[in-house]
Amino acid sequence: MKVPRVEIRIEECKGCHLCIAACPKKVLESSGCLNNQGYIYAKYKGDGCIGCGICFYSCPEPGAIKVFKKEN
C-alpha cells in the first residue's frame, strides 16, 4: 500500500469535518454519504497525503483516523 496515506474508518466518523478543515493539503473531503449511524463521513481523496498527522489530532474520535507516515 502506498505511504504516506490516511485511512478513515467510516463507521467511526461522526461527520464533524474538522479533519477536512485542518488538512493542509486539502486531500480530505466530505463523502456526501451517510454511514450506519447517520453521519456524513469524511473520506480521503486517494492521493496527496503527506502523512503530517494534523487530521489525526483534529479528530475527536479515538480510532476514526489512521495515518501511515513515510518510512524513515
Partner 1 sequence: MSNILEKPKSFYTDFTRKGSADVITTHYCPGCGHGILHKMIAEAISELGIQDRTVFISPVGCSVFAYYYFDTGNVQVAHGRAPAAGTGVKRALPNSIVISYQGDGDLAAIGTAEIIHSANRGEAMTMFFVNNAIYGMTGGQMAPTSIIGQKTTTSPYGRKAENEGYPIKVSELISQLDAPVYVERVSLADVASRNKARTVVRKAIQNQIDGKGFSFVEVLAACPSGLKKTPLETNEWVKNTLHTIFPLGCYKDETATRTPRFAPAINPTSDQVLTALNLKDDHSDYKASVDKKNFIDQNVKIAGFGGQGVLSAGTTLSVLAMYENLEVSWIPSYGPEMRGGTSNCNVRLSNKRIGSPLVENPNILIAMNGPSLEKFESAVRPGGTIIVNSSIIDAKVSRKDVKTYYVPVTGIATEMGVPAAQGVAALAAYLAATNVIPVEKLEHVVHKSLKRKELADKNIAIIRKVAEYITKGMEDNKKCLTGF
Let me know how long the chain is. 72
Decide if residue 34 touches partner 1 (CB under 8 A). no
10 belongs to the binding site for partner 1 (CB under 8 A)? no
Taking the complex as a whole, how short is the minimal distance between the CB of residue 5 and partner 1, in angstroms? 11
Q: How far is the CB of 66 from partner 1 (least distance, A)?
A: 5
Query: To which residue does cell 454511514 refer?
Result: 35
- Separation between Cα atoms, residue 64 and residue 72, nearest integer Å: 24
Residue from 1, 2, 47, 71 binding partner 1 (CB under 8 A): 71
- Least distance between partner 1 and beta carbon 47 (Å): 19
In 3D space, the residue among 72, 68, 70, 71 whose CA is nearest the CA of residue 8 turns out to be: 68
